[in-house]
Amino acid sequence: MFVAPSFPHEPGGPAPYFRGEFTADRQPDQALLEVTGLGIVEPYLNGIRVGDEVLAPGWTSYRHRLQVSTHDVTALIKPGANALGAIVGDGWAAGRIGFEGKNNHYTDRPALFMRLEMTLGEQTVVVESDGTWSAGTGAIIANGLFDGETYDARREPYGWSQPGFTGDWSAVEPFDWNPEALVPVVADPIRRIEELSPVSIRGKIVDFGQNLTGWIKLTTTGETGQTITIRHAELLEDGELNVETLRTVRATDRYIHAGGTVTWEPRFTFHGFRYVEIDGPFDEVKAVVVHSDMRRTGWLKTSDERLNRLHANTVWSMRGNFVGVPTDCPQRDERLGWTGDINAFAPTAAFLYDVRPVLGSWLADLAAEQRERGFVPWVVPDVLSNPSAPTALWSDVAVSLPWVLYQEYGDAEILRRCYGSMAAFIRDVEGRLDADGLWSSGFQFGDWLDPDAPGDNPAGAKTDRHLVAAAYLAKTTREMADTAELLNTEDAAHFRALADKVRQAFRAEYVTAKGRIAGETATAYALAICFDLLDPDQEARAGRRLAELVAKAGYKISTGFAGTPLMLPALSRTGHLEAAYLMLMEPGCPSFLYPVTMGATTIWERWDAIAPDGTLNPSGMSSLNHYALGAVTDWLHKTVGGLTPLEPGYRKVLIAPQPGGGLTNAALTHWTVHGDIRISWRVEGRQVRLEVSVPVEATVRLPYTGETIEVQLGEHAWSYELPEEYGEREPYTMDTSLKTLAADPTVWQALTEVFAKHFPSIPLDGNAPEAAAFSLNTVLEFIPGPSQELADDLKAAIQ
């Protein structure tokens, strides 16, 4: 049964210690210990810590699903007296979580469930936490996920989880929890994955060189009563911690000495940090990286170190935000399972790690809460005070995430399991459509965090939020219809008709006959292109228009959560590969590589979270560890690495690396359910080489030549000369027409920069009617007294 302490509990206060004794007649043949609780449970048996999970049982929708870990403890049981024990921290159940400042989302105090089942020959003996157990407090005098942990070593109740302990502890109380909610562990356990050493220690400030999620492990020598205070932050400013990105989170751990030399780490908190400030004596410090212990399944390396860093930043942000639940960020006062963030990031996540356990568990929570509440919450598990309205890109994760998992693993069971939830979401939105079939009313986050939106209104994007909603609905109703047809359900025809109606409604409202899209924003074009909302002619036109818009924005990012992941796919799909690479390689603020140039080691919530002068964006939405925008990495896998599934689960694949951006090689590895896929390509001088290893049939499209070859499973390689058109082009001169220069995005971008530098208010227009007749020399003639510097800059730009 569940037990709780009978003494009062303060949120963030001391963690209760629990213990109970039992006798074993002899060494059992097998002993299995089931453990869970409301809070974070650290189990012990006869003074020994059981298992290697931390932060167990993780965070789920506890009222519906509370995961129970099972440990084989056969070797720890002794004939005679034995003792079971556990320390239970506040965690997600009793502590503070979310931005509303609230504690006790699930319980007013931590509670424990332990059940030991011993097999002795024919006999089964069960020992459970019950009214005979007692509880007290000990060394953990304060604990909270947000604010940190205080450990007073002087109060360690030595021997508390061994038989014969005689502390002044009180009896426990039975605690009521729905036994039906107990489920076996689905998500991978959270573990200590690795330890990092500092890259520098300056005075009290320690830099681990990497923004990460976890805590520190400290070796310290001190006098009794001496306190070491450890504060965490993502950022340094003038050599001091800048804790602005934490908002109200205190992220402060304390160790109070009982004297001597000890190695200590906290257990009931976690922090998102790169830097710590340690006030007090220490001999050694390490950062412990903590997350769900998932299997890594995807890798990409290229010839460009900046891109490699961007990729590594995505991996680190995923690691930092997969601590049981897929969260927005690990450091500030949110750490919530924001639906939109994982919706944007899911294809990338599924490439990098096997996410079936963590996201499968999370989808089960989503469905349970949706059933109970009648809507898909914006955050899962839902701890928000107000009900969530259905919202594009956020709530529709109910449909798109199962669909992504089906594409990645080819397992229709995932869709079958989620079908009720998917269909309920679509039917809810269907009931809200206007007479034209548009999702034109109600709250929408829209193109959240558009860099041009006002700082105090992150939803105030350039792109009409109902256009965004209608486009996403066209995508999700199609996924729904495809799912229904695949599973052969009776509502398949209904969902297909709905998908067609919604697509038609989008086209009628927002697309001109020739392919212009209302609002003329990059996000609107990218959505229409990527979600198949256009006819082929319209799509080609939209692609050209999008390429113009990104050129006009100087290849910088002008889009938010909804549009940004689709920019490169929309450009490359419509034949504007060079523009896509210009955008990818652009280092100015805000751009994909800009954070890398600023030393970022994770993906930021916004590309301009830190300004070029080093100041933090003051909007309050400037986390330095948000995986959502790492969604761009999916394009790297498909286009630079060259791997796209042609059938769910990679049962058949397209291998088509599309080099560009000055890259000279790339190597991708992906574990799939059919086996490992490896692709590597390299250009050396005029020699191209592609090597492929596939466990399935593949269509290979050779880089540069576009030649298509069907191959069987096995290893394959091609070596060939770069085709002539990739030879040296005729050098551009000051007499080359502007029209020709404008057709070369790389040169045109360089020229635009020269113009922006010398004539900030005069745009250079390569599409003007006179562009064919004008050259840079004619332009210079118009400029009164052109400087030598201008002429030199222009010459340099066309090299």
Q: By the criterion CB under 6 A, which residues form the site for ligand BGC?
A: 328-329, 334, 338, 340-341, 445, 626, 628
Nearer Cβ to ligand BGC, position 128 or 365?
365
How many CA atoms are closer than 13 Å to the CA of 204, on its beta-carbon side? 13
Nearer Cβ to ligand BGC, position 234 or 341?
341
Q: Give the type of residue at 263.
A: T
Nearer Cβ to ligand BGC, position 338 or 592?
338
Minimum distance from residue 445 beta carbon to ligand BGC (Å): 5
Minimum distance from residue 391 beta carbon to ligand BGC (Å): 9
Nearer Cβ to ligand BGC, position 288 or 461?
461
Distance CA 695, CA 699 (A): 13
Distance CA 276, CA 230 (A): 6
* Catalytic, out of 149, 265, 334, 586: 334
Nearer Cβ to ligand BGC, position 277 or 341?
341
**Element spanning 292, H or E:** strand 284-292
Say which residue the tokens 């896929």 belong to: 677
Nearer Cβ to ligand BGC, position 255 or 378?
378
**Element spanning 92, H or E:** helix 91-94
Minimum distance from residue 201 beta carbon to ligand BGC (Å): 32
> What phi, psi does 515 have (nearest 5°)?
105, 15
180: annotated active-site residue: no
Which tokens go with 108?
A: 């007013």
Nearer Cβ to ligand BGC, position 626 or 682?
626
For residue 520, the SS3 value is coil
21: annotated active-site residue: no
734: Cα separation from own chain's centroid = 47
Task: Kindly calculate the radius of gyration of the chain based on its CA atoms and give it in whole angstroms.
Answer: 29
For residue 656, the SS3 value is coil
Nearer Cβ to ligand BGC, position 347 or 641?
347
Beta carbons of 331 and 251 less than 8 angstroms apart: yes
**Element spanning 72, H or E:** strand 66-72
CA dihedral 162, 165, 171, 176 (to 10 degrees): -10
Write down the H helix ranges in 322-457: 339-352, 356-373, 397-409, 412-430
Nearer Cβ to ligand BGC, position 282 or 338?
338
* Catalytic, out of 42, 369, 479, 605: 605
Minimum distance from residue 328 beta carbon to ligand BGC (Å): 4
Distance CA 639, CA 522 (A): 20
The DSSP 8-state label assigned to residue 74 in this structure reads G
Which tokens go with 225?
A: 């009563």
Minimum distance from residue 336 beta carbon to ligand BGC (Å): 7
Residue nearest ligand BGC by beta-carbon distance? 328
Minimum distance from residue 341 beta carbon to ligand BGC (Å): 5
Nearer Cβ to ligand BGC, position 329 or 582?
329
Of the candidates 97, 95, 189, which has an alpha carbon nearest to the alpha carbon of residue 140? 95
Which tokens go with 143?
A: 């604990």
Cα dihedral across residues 515, 520, 521, 524: positive or negative:
negative
Minimum distance from residue 334 beta carbon to ligand BGC (Å): 5
Provide CB contacts within 8 A for 742, sequence distance 6+.
Answer: 748, 766, 767, 771
**Element spanning 502, H or E:** helix 492-510
Beta carbons of 387 and 375 less than 8 angstroms apart: yes
Minimum distance from residue 309 beta carbon to ligand BGC (Å): 22
Q: Give the type of residue at 617.
A: N
> What phi, psi does 296 have (nearest 5°)?
-75, 135
Say which residue the tokens 């024990």 belong to: 85
Which tokens go with 519?
A: 């609002």
Provide CB contacts within 8 A for 581, sequence distance 6+.
Answer: 660, 661
Instruction: List b or e across 405-419, with b for residues whose CB sees 16 or more CB atoms inside 10 angstroms.
Output: bbbbbbeeebbebbb
Residues annotated catalytic, as ranges: 334, 605
